[in-house]
Amino acid sequence: MNSKEIVRFIDELSREKSISRDILAESLKDAIFAAVVKKIGKYLEPEIDVDIDKGEINIFIPKEVSESETSNWYEIPIEEAKAFKDDPQLGDILMIPTPLEDLGRQSALVAKQKLLEKLRDVERNVIMDEYENKIGEIVNGVVLKMDNNNVIVNLGKTDAVLPRREMINGEFYGRGDYIRALLLDIKMVKNWPQLILSRTHPCYLRKLFEAEIPEVFEGIVVVNAVAREPGDRAKVAVSTTNSNIDPRGACIGMKGSRIMAISNELKGEKIDVIEWSPDAVQFVCNAISPAQVTLTNVIEDDKTLELIVPDDQLSLAIGRKGQNVKLAAMLTEWRLDVLKESEYAQIRTQRLEVQEEEMKQFYVLYNLENISTLTQEQISMLIEAGLDDVVKLSDAQVDEVKAALEIGDEEAVELINYTIDYLTAKLEEIETNTGSDENSDNDDDSDSIFNNDDSDQAPSVDVDESVALSDSDTNIEQEGPK
């Protein structure tokens, strides 16, 4: 390959890969420089000039003017030197033009190897610059082939991989098929960027809303949260920055035209568009639709919401295989317990009984009347001061007790200490009784293990119709409400 052919190849590569001609020219210059140094040694400094527009490669090698009769890589006879300089003198260093072909086959191979290395580095940087900022965006491509159940997609400048796990169930692609997907990540494999695509990630559905619905693209309608079971069903929570616009109507479109276009792109995935609310309870009630919620109970400790629905809507709230309540939990980031009204009535009765029993126990244990040194008048005075039970009195400051009962320091300290002694004794008594009850239960269990005549029969299990599903039940990362 001569100089003109090399320059023509570089020019074609620049157009094909969309790489700057200046960058490719610099890469070719570095490759030829390495080949020349390989030929003549690293102690001489050749000059390389690449002009892609003219199709020229000029190589200048430094040679010393000498008395030798023949030219070599380091010396040039004085008679030949006159062609490059007027009145040359012995010892002068002249830059002598040398054709690329004169470097020989080995130097050409070195130049080719260096050039390929440079081009690979340049192409890698171009790909990273092009796609690094597109992570989380939709890209379009053409299917090249199937490789180990993964789809190889050509994006124009490079290829990407759509793994089987990131494909919707039932999807199959043939060579030449058009495909849209989310650019999920870029991983370095053997020092080369590998683009990973996804059609199952919740963000892909969010981006489809931006692409297909002008109000979402313009920011008038906001997609606050997305939950998906890819290819089957999804829930999308939306809100609006303009009170005159119905966010659900804008997303669904006339006769469902807009949401249908998105559903068709996702192989018929059913999409429920619900209205987002800053009120967590209202948001959950919206998310569980089409079921109607009649009552809610918030359990803050484990971020759980109890949803009570009419008996005839329990299956509607749960959905097929628990899908509706599961998606609602993923969307809202709350753990949801769905109960029917008749079942909740029994649970509520049990809870009230437990609360009543706890109140009785509290009254028996912590009532100020248990402190025998207090009179009824003093008990009334303590209650008025806010020290209305034994625990509060044991934790009170001396000054508080003095002010409440109008007594001296010594009497206040004595009363507080007496209260602490009483409370300690009672707690130790409860702990002792609890331990005795546990031992008794263990004895009963042992008897049942060794003396059960029906040991061959399997125990029966009552199945509760309530459902408790949360976003922790799935491995797909979800975005919560903003």
Residue 16: give its domain's CATH number: 3.30.1480.10
Domain for residue 186, yes or no? yes
State whether 183 and 115 are in the same domain: no
Q: Across the chain, what does the average pLDDT equal?
A: 80
The reply to whether 405 and 314 lie within a common domain is no
The arithmetic mean of pLDDT across residues 47-56, rounded, is 75
Residues 109, 61, single domain; the answer is yes
Grade residue 160 by pLDDT with cuts at 50, 70 and 90. Answer: very high
CATH (domain of 422): 1.10.150.20
Residue 356 burial (CB < 10 Å; 0-12/13-18/19+)?
Answer: exposed
pLDDT of residue 45: 79
Lowest mean pLDDT among 5-9, 64-68, 339-343, 378-382: 5-9
pLDDT for 17 equals: 67
**CA 377 remoteness from chain centre:** 64
Does 110 or 315 have the greater pLDDT score? 315
Which CATH number belongs to the domain containing residue 184 in this structure? Answer: 2.40.50.140
Looking at the domain assignment, is residue 339 inside a domain?
yes
Verify that 87 and 183 share a domain, yes or no.
Answer: no
Does residue 44 sit in helix, strand or coil? coil
Greatest mean pLDDT range, 94-108, 194-208, 358-372, 390-404: 194-208
HSE-up (13 A, CA, CB side) for residue 25: 15
- Of the pLDDT bands very low, low, confident and very high (cuts 50, 70, 90), residue 460 is very low
Average pLDDT over residues 23-27: 77
Mean pLDDT (whole number) for 265-279: 93
Choice between 343 and 348, residue whose per-residue pLDDT is larger: 343
Q: What is the pLDDT of residue 238?
A: 96
Domain extent at residue 341: 288-321+332-365
- Classify residue 244: in a domain, yes or no: no
Mean pLDDT (whole number) for 399-417: 85
Last residue of a domain, one of 154, 170, 198: 198
- What average pLDDT does the segment 218-243 reach? 94
Amino acid letter, 112: K
CATH assignment of the domain containing 302: 3.30.300.20
Please state, in angstroms and rounded to a whole number, the distance separating the CA atoms of residues 78 and 286. 95
Of 37-46, 321-330, 383-392, 418-427, the range with the lowest mean pLDDT is 37-46
Q: What percent of the chain has pLDDT over 70?
A: 82
Residue 384 lies in a domain: yes
- The answer to whether residue 370 scores a pLDDT higher than 60 is yes
- Say yes or no: 146 and 165 in one domain: yes
Against a cut of 0.85, is the pTM above it?
Answer: no
Q: Return the closest-CA partner of residue 281 out of 263, 254, 267, 299.
A: 299
Considering the domain architecture, whether residues 356 and 374 belong to the same structural domain is answered as no
Going by pLDDT thresholds of 50, 70 and 90, the confidence category of residue 3 is low
Q: Does any domain span residue 174? A: yes
Is the same domain home to 361 and 371? no
In a domain, 161, yes or no: yes
The pLDDT, as a whole number, for residue 359 is: 67
Give me the DSSP letters along 56-107. EEEEEEEEEEES-SS--SSEEEHHHHTTTSSS--TT-EEEEE--GGGG-HHH
Q: Give the H/E segment covering residue 422.
A: helix 409-451
The domain total for the chain is 4
In a domain? residue 444: no
Least confident interval from 131-145, 185-199, 295-309, 443-457? 443-457
402 with 419, same domain: the answer is yes
Mean pLDDT, rounded, for 409-420: 85
**Same domain as 125, residue 7:** yes
Q: Given a cut of 90, is residue 272 above it in pLDDT?
A: yes
Q: Is the pLDDT of residue 473 over 70?
A: no
Averaged pLDDT, 388-412: 84
Given a cut of 90, is residue 181 above it in pLDDT?
yes
Split at pLDDT 50, 70, 90, the class of 204 is very high
Q: Is residue 405 domain-resident?
A: yes
Question: Are 65 and 118 part of one and the same domain?
Answer: yes
Looking at the predicted structure, is the pLDDT value of residue 161 above 50? yes
Lowest mean pLDDT among 18-22, 146-150, 272-276: 18-22
Assess whether 139 and 125 both reside in one domain: no
398 and 344, same structural domain? no
Q: Which residue has the higher pLDDT, 365 or 26?
A: 26
CB atoms inside a 10 Å sphere around CB 240: 18
